[in-house]
Structure formats: C-alpha cells, structure tokens
A and B are shown apart, each in its own frame.
Chain A
C-alpha cells in the first residue's frame, strides 16, 4: 500500500495569535541540530516500507521555508535515498509569504517539491496584523505570483473566517484576490480560539472582538457558495479544489490511509497504530542524537475506536463514508451497527445515503460534530 510522509518543521519567525500548533519562535539556534536529527530519523526508519511507494509528502509546520538554504534539499535527498518515492508523488511544502524569495523557490522546485501551500489567512493588512501574521497582503500576492513564475502549478492558499474585526466583505475581498491569483486549491477555516494561544488570553480578558455567530455563519455560507461558483469544489469540510487538485496527502488522513510522521510532534498511522513523537523540539533532537526513539505515545486502537475514527474522518469528505469499505476493513455491518443513529441523523436532515456512501448534507457539514459524535462511543 502506498503511504504518505509528513515532515514537521516546528519553527516560526513569530507565533500567530490564533495558533496552537506545535511550532515555536526563537529556536534559531536549533535549526542545524534539528535538520540533522530529522535526517537521521528518516534514514533510520526507511526499512519499514520496502515494498511500498511513497506517493505523497507533506512538509508542514511551523514554517518550513524559514530554514536556511539547502536544508529542505538535504531532507528531500534523504527521503529519496530511504524511500521509493512514486514518480508522480504529490510533494507539498507549507510556506509563509514573509519567508520567501526567488532563490528559495527555485530550491524547492529543484528538490522535487511540486505543490506549495501558502498560509495567507487574509488579504487585508489590518486583519493580518490583528492576527499576528508577519507579512502584508501585498507580500502574499507577490510571493504567490513568484511561486507560480518559478513553475508551481499546484498552489494552495489558506484563508480564515471569523477572525477579529473581519466583515463579510473582507472575506469576500480575500476570496476574490485568491480567485484572481488563479491558484488550484483553497482551504477556508473558521477560527476556533484554542487554549494556550494569545487569542485565548484575550478572550479571557474580554478584549477579543470576534464577528458574531450570524456573521460567521454568513461568511461560511458565502465562502462555500463563492468557491463553488469559481470552480473550487468542496471535497472536505474546509477544503476546496479545482477538479483533480484535491490534496492527496490530506485525503490520506480522512480516508484512513497510512502515513508516517517525522520530526517533533509528528504523527504516524501505520497498520492501524497511531504514534506521536515528542512535542519538545530539544527533547526530540536529544532523543534522536542519543539513538533513542522520538515516539512518545503509541495507540493501538481498539476496533471500536478505529471504527469511530474511520467514520468521522470519512464523513468529513464530500465523497462520504463507503459502506463497503467499512464492512471490509472491520468485518462488520455498518448499516446494522448504526441503524438507529442513521435514522436519527437522517430525520434531522444531517446525513444522506445513496445506497453506497453515507455523507453529510449541506446542513450536516455545518453541524458535523453533531454527526461525528454519534459514531463515537
């Protein structure tokens, strides 16, 4: 079976105010050690998959493009030395507009990266500074255009809605800019205030001003409708793509397919086992350097848990949950197992069933958690 690789780069110039991902600013002194450790972790684990192809690689963060020139080339070399990478593999790097230049883009192309995902969030300067982004809207436009000029023809833009001071027309303006840039993929996320972030602090102090629920819902509706109108078809709760440009790597998460994570806080899912590496960057480096495993937790899911995960992940996608696949994977009868849940959710107008796939309705997409919960014990 083909697998995906996830490579985590836990560094940022500045932590965005909403971000609770395991990435840190001020760790420049660890860059070299970290790259060395990553290199070793990848090289050491190669043997696992001798008969399989890697058909997607995702270098995420953090801000992978923050690394000094040559770092990603080195990592990609090691990946190629270690794994059999399919010729048509999707290889994505996450990029921050504030950290890009022509030379770096060329390096990315030269080391085989063929998809680039820009964390832009908004094309409004006041909003960008209100959420702690280090770049301007102009810089973002310039970076994206530069990437395209360097040959990237599979480009994603991340946008957010429901962020401080944002209005429906702000979001519309950002979407319009994205359409004008002629990218292939859009991710549109609603802000969730996560604990431990600057936003959470401000919310506790009562000084975080977010759009109200009505406005947020309008933003959501608008993003879904506008994307569709511009040929970006929704294929997952928050993801839209021109046909054929769905992110193969992220689909692996939702389709219950295997992936191996490298780097601090990276997650793997192989043979039904979920593993997580240590979150602390220095501990990760230390462990790898001393020949120990970076894995901090291993979860061999019970069948029940696996069925729950399979279900709520599959239901996130527009394709929906394949009854046949569920039954085959778990040697079970989905429709019998969830008869009453399915009835209840149908009655609430949250799901529909075409005989082969169970999927969320438009309304169900909005209330996904209400559906997902029903498949959890």
Chain B
C-alpha cells in the first residue's frame, strides 16, 4: 500500500476523559475485531491497567477503513501511556505518528497532563485533531472547551469533532478527520532503513518483540538489522502488525507501524527511542530524541518471609524482561534482611510493579519509603549518589547535599489558586509563573524538590482543590538543600529501613508525625514498645505502643470449632504478614508510613 493511504496517530487525553473508550469504538467501527472478540477497553491489556483505568504500556492497533472518498486506508493507532511517570515513552510514541487526537472531556476541560502531552505532540510536529468527548453529559459545555483549546493551546477548534464514545456519536467523523487532516507518512522505501522503536515486550517463544515505526526503507524477515544506541545486531525472523493481536506479514514498509522479532534475548538491548537500521546498509544518524531512561524514584523491596528472596529475584527478573526502565540490585537491611533496591520512573510505576509482584508472583512484600537520588558532596571531595537514606554518610563527612528539582505545572480553577500556592510554598516550592487559561482556570508553575512530589504533594494537591487540580512535572536539575537523616528507633533499636532524608527545618515536625503514625500502625504486642524519632543522637519525638492487655477468645462453645479455628488462622495470617524486627512485629504499611502522614 502506498504511504499516501497510511495514517499514524495517537490519542492524547487526561485520565477518564475517554481515551480507551474512543479507541474501542474505532476498533469496533472498522471491524478490526468482531463483536465477540471485543472486550471493553481492548488496548489496556494488563488486568491492572483495566482496574486502574490507565495505560501503562504502549499498545498499537492497525485499522482498515474505507473512507468517504472510496479509498481504503491503513490507520495505525498507537496508544500511549497516560501518566506523568511515562512521559518519555509518550514522546516516543508520538514521534512515531503524524497526527494525534486531542480528546478533552466536554465537562472537565483541559488538564495539566493533557497540556504537557499536547506540547510534546506539537514538538513532534503532529497534526492535532481536537475531539470533545462526552458531549452527552448534562454538564457538557463543548463551546467553552473549544474556547479553552483555542486560548490555551492556540489550536483552531472550530472543526473539533463533537463525540460521545459511550454512545458512538462522532466516531465516523473522527475517522474521516484522521484521513483528511493527518498527513500521510513521508519517507522513501528506497532509502536505507530507519525505524523508531516506541515499545517492546518479551515473548517467551520469540524473544524480545520491538514495536517500531518504519521511517524509511522496509523490514523483511532474513534482513540483518542493527540498533544504533546499543549497537546490537540481529537477524529478523518475523515482522508483523497489530490487529491488535500480533499477525505476521511479509514486509513492513515505509510509514508502517508493526513489530519486529529476531531472537533478541534481552529487553535492555531494545530501548525505546532507539533507531533500527540495516546492518549492511546503515543510516548515518539515528532518529532524533533518543535518551537513556533513568529511574527517578527508588525504594527497597523485601520479602516478608525471607525464604521468598529467590522468588522475588526471579519475579523482578521476569518483570524486567518487559520493562527495561525497572532497575534492581541486591541490598541488605539490618532490619529487613536481604532484598533489593529498585529504581522506578515514578510513584505509579513503583506501585504497579509492587502490585504485580504481589499479585502475579504471590509474594508478600515490604516496600520501604521511596527516595530520590541525592548527590552527597563529602568533605574529602568525593561525590556520592545516595538512593537509600540509610546509606547517608555521617554529618561530619558531609559538606553539602544536592537534591533533584522538578518544574511542576498545575492547572486549577481560580478559586483554588491560594490553596495551591500555600501547599507549594509549604513544600519548599519556588513560584515561577501564573497564567490564566480562561476566565476561570489558571496554570501555575513552581520549581519543587522531587522528594516533596513523591512524598505527598499530589495527594495534598488533590484534596486541597477538591480534586480539580491536575499536575504535570519534569526534572530540571539538582539544587543544594539543607537535608538531614531522620532515624526511627523501635524498642531502643534503630530500624534502618525506616530512615528518611528530610529537610532540616521539617525534621522535628516530620519526626513527631512519623512517630505518631507508627504508633497507630504497629499493633499492640505483649510488651510495651517505645517509638523514638532521632536526628543523629538527638531524640526529637517519642511515642509508646502500649502493651496488649488481653488476647483470648472468650466464648468457645456451641460446638462450632471450625469458626474458631478460622479466626485463629486469620490472626496468624496477619502475623505472618508482619516483619519481625528484634522482638517487635512490624506491619508492612509501617515502612510506607512516612507517605501517609497528615
């Protein structure tokens, strides 16, 4: 098929604005899947993705559509992850397209992440087709949303498609708009091959499967290919397209989107953003935009039952097969024993991995509070990158500490500007900018320490704005801060896994809060448990978990022994989920307590 009849596009939307539903309707409308095969939200394949209503991994599907002009078009939809943790993946998916649907909820208007993704799309020179979704809602105000799109993004929204993916309104119009407005791919089949990798997954039989967009040239089985950034070569065994299930074809031509397999064993060799070229006739330069992704958030993962260490290791290795951004290396904690320090793109990524480990591998895990990477400048001139608070050198050895900062963009109704600013100041933010998007909505920009974002900024932002605020952030660099390590002692013994790095001015307050919170989390045991928060040798807060007074089933007759046994089993099960540190049994959530205060 000529590139003239190919269209590649993505959908940009805020969570809940209807991206997956629109994708489903497009698939349904073009008959890519029969009604029987249709399951709601086809593209969000992972169980977790469905439950959370988010896309974690990019997916793609090829649609065949006969347009009103009578011609048949091959339309590739590349679904993008919808969360700030995965911005880089989004940018690469967008780079594989010529156009994007900008889906905005007719009642909610534009949100911060949508905006960030629209800017990414504009940077990639994508043709943007505004779609105003959920117009059937009683509170829908499409005109207002059109104005917002025009005022905020500067896009002409007069032709915006009015849609209701739920009822199917506007689906045909969207397809027509894609055909008419999204440019067909440029590039030439005769040029040397260059193809952009926008995702990959590991298949037990085929090895790593790279998801690619062919920019120039073509890919056929038998070709020898090279990945430019990793310099890995492989021979193509299969090429194919997404229907959305994988379907082999003979050749992936210029402008097309599909997959390439070639017994590549390590997912790390197939990096998102890298360029695939012909090993025998390579291009001179890779496609622009590649960067190595580095985790921003680190935490310790420990099995509650130390016998599960190997299972955890296997599980992490298996997950890594599909997720090159997940990093882990063994670490040891005095309190928790053997485990792993893991690096994630962000909190959601961390949450998802943790949940998958527990669900898919039936592991019971302890997650320590997430940490960013601190740069510690020692008095002897050495510079350390610290991702685990317990590894911080003693104060005497430290000259100063730098921490990562982000540029945070918040979009909020103007009634909440005060709340957002107050919160951001409290979180050590530096005000940068404030802009009215329209008469009622404001975009506020702050520079904030990343540690505050992963601490509780987003939750607090949501609650102080009644859920109206949306947030986007990007890393901008490192700044020096006055930071100290806050230690927690249980029953007189420091528990390394509970240490956190905090700003000096907040240490006392955090210490008190944390001690108080732990008091609520640690169940009463047969003896009294003092909880102390300390900086260095100085105890700054103290709480006590009082001793349990009594614990016995009083009534045990009527002959229903099974029920009593089950009660005891449940109690024992709860105990098994706790970690014994010294004499003290500590529940899993205690290690995340620092995130749950306020």
The interface residues of chain A lying within 8 Å CB-to-CB of B551 are 366-370
Chain B residue numbers with a CB within 8 Å of A6 are 558-559
Question: CB distance B554 to A192 under 8 Å?
Answer: yes
Tell whether, in the assembled complex, residue A214 and residue B565 are in contact, meaning their CB atoms are under 8 Å apart: no
Q: Which residue of A lies closest to B546 (CB)?
A: A213
Q: How far is the CA of A372 from the CA of B554 in the complex (A)?
A: 13
Report if A189 contacts B (CB, 8 A): yes
A216-275 with Cβ < 8 A to chain B: 216-217, 220, 237-238, 250, 253-254, 259, 261, 266-269, 274
How far does the alpha carbon of A377 sit from the alpha carbon of B565 in the complex, in Å?
10
- Is the beta-carbon distance between A267 and B554 smaller than 8 angstroms? no
A194 to chain B, nearest CB (A): 10
Inter-chain CA distance A316–B553, complex, in Å, is 9
Contact check, A308 vs B565: say whether CB atoms are below 8 A apart.
yes
Asked if residues A309 and B565 are in contact (CB atoms below 8 Å), the reply is: yes
> A309 CA to B562 CA in the complex, in Å?
8
Is the pair B560, A276 in contact by a Cβ cutoff of 8 Å?
yes
The answer to whether A250 touches B549 (Cβ under 8 A) is: no
Residues of B within 8 A of A191 (CB): 554
Which of A21, A190, A313 contacts B561, CB < 8 Å? Answer: A313
What is the total number of residues of chain A having a CB less than 8 Å from a CB of chain B? Answer: 43
Q: What A residues does B562 contact at CB under 8 A?
A: 267, 274, 276, 299
Q: Would you give the 0/1 interface string for B539-559, flagging 1 where the beta carbon is closer than 8 Å to chain A?
A: 000000010111111111111
State the Cβ distance, A364 to closest chain B Cβ, in Å. Answer: 9
- Taking a contact as CB atoms under 8 Å apart, the answer to whether B552 and A253 are in contact is no
Tell me the residues in window 126-155 of chain B with beta carbons closer than 8 Å to chain A beta carbons.
none
For B552, the chain A residues whose CB sits under 8 A away are 190, 237, 365-369
Smallest Cβ distance from A346 to chain B, in angstroms? 14
Complex CA–CA separation, A106 to B509 (angstroms): 72
Whether a CB of chain A sits under 8 angstroms from the CB of B572 is: yes
Q: State which of B546, B556, B575 has its C-beta within 8 Å of the C-beta of A237.
A: B556
- Is A17 part of the binding interface, using a Cβ–Cβ cutoff of 8 Å? no
When chains A and B are docked, how far (Å) is the Cα of A89 from the Cα of B553?
A: 28
Quick check: is B568 within 8 A (CB to CB) of the other chain? yes
Contact B553 A261 (CB under 8 A): no
Is A98 in the interface zone, CB < 8 Å from B? no
In the complex, the chain B residue whose C-beta lies closest to that of A266 is B559
Q: Does B569 contact A (CB under 8 A)?
A: yes
Residue A83 is within 8 A (CB to CB) of chain B in the complex? no
A172 within 8 A of B: no
In Å, the complex CA distance between A152 and B413 comes to 78
Which chain B positions have C-beta within 8 A of A189?
A: 554-555
Q: Does B526 contact A (CB under 8 A)?
A: yes
User: Contacts of B572 on A, CB cut-off 8 Å?
Assistant: 373, 376
Interfacial chain B residues near A372, Cβ < 8 Å: 553, 568
Chain B residues closer than 8 Å to A266, beta-carbon distance: 559
> How many pairs, one residue from A and one from B, have CB atoms within 8 Å of each other in the complex?
93
Q: Which residues of B contact A348 (CB under 8 A)?
A: 526
Question: Once the chains bind, are B561 and A269 in contact (CB under 8 Å)?
Answer: yes
Per-residue CB proximity of A189-200 to B under 8 Å, as 1/0? 111100000000
Which chain B residues lie closer than 8 Å to A367 at the CB level? 526, 548, 550-552
In the complex, A365 Cα to B561 Cα: how many Å?
19
Minimum CB distance partner of A160 in chain B: B554
Judged by a CB distance under 8 angstroms, whether A24 is at the interface is no
Q: Is the pair A376, B554 in contact by a Cβ cutoff of 8 Å?
A: no
Query: Which residues of A have CB within 8 Å of B549?
Result: 213-214, 216-217, 366
CA distance A372 to B571 in the complex (A): 10
Instruction: Output the least CB separation between B527 and chain A (Å).
Output: 9
B526's nearest neighbour on chain A, judged by CB, is: A367
Partner of B568, one of A253, A259, A312: A312
Binary contact track A331-345/B, C-beta < 8 Å → 1, others 0: 000000000000000
- A253 and B550 form a contact (CB under 8 A): no
| Binary interface encoding of chain A residues 3-45 relative to chain B, with 1 for a CB under 8 A from any of its CBs, else 0 | 0001000000000000001000000000000000000000000
B565 touches A213 (CB 8 A): no
Chain A residues closer than 8 Å to B557, beta-carbon distance: 250, 253
Residue of B nearest to A217 (CB): B549
Give every chain B residue within 8 A of A267 (Cβ-Cβ): 558-562
Q: Which of B555, B556, B569 contacts A254 (CB 8 A)?
A: B556
Q: A216-B549, A305-B565 are in contact. Are A316 and B560 (CB under 8 A)?
A: no
**Residue from the set B548, B553, B555, B572 with the largest chain A CB neighbour count within 10 Å:** B555
Kindly state whether residue A60 has any CB partner on chain B within 8 Å. yes
Residues of A within 8 A of B575 (CB): 373
Cβ contact within 8 Å between A238 and B554:
yes
Residues of B within 8 A of A369 (CB): 551-553, 568, 571
Q: Which residues of A lie under 8 Å from residue B571 when comparing CB positions? A: 369, 373
- Quote the shortest CB–CB distance from A63 to chain B (angstroms): 14
- Residues of chain A from 342 to 377 with CB closer than 8 A to chain B in the complex: 348, 365-370, 372-373, 376-377
Cβ distance A120 to chain B, nearest Cβ, rounded Å: 15
CB closest chain-B residue, reference A254: B556
| Residues in A neighbouring B548, C-beta threshold 8 A | 367
CB nearest to A312 among chain B residues: B568
Instruction: Check A213 against B550 for contact (C-beta < 8 Å).
Output: yes
CA distance A334 to B549 in the complex (A): 30
- Within the assembled complex, what's the spacing in Å between the Cα atoms of A231 and B259? 85
CA distance A309 to B561 in the complex (A): 8
Binding site for B on A (CB under 8 A): 6, 21, 60, 189-192, 213-214, 216-217, 220, 237-238, 250, 253-254, 259, 261, 266-269, 274, 276, 299, 305, 308-309, 312-313, 316, 348, 365-370, 372-373, 376-377
In addition to A213-B549, A276-B560, A377-B569, 5 A-B residue pairs with Cβ atoms within 8 Å of each other are: A6-B559, A60-B558, A312-B564, A369-B568, A372-B553
Can you give 11 A-B contacts (C-beta < 8 A)? A60-B558, A189-B555, A217-B550, A250-B557, A253-B556, A309-B565, A316-B556, A367-B552, A369-B568, A372-B568, A376-B572
7 nearest A-B residue pairs (beta carbon): A368-B552, A267-B559, A217-B549, A373-B572, A190-B554, A189-B554, A213-B549
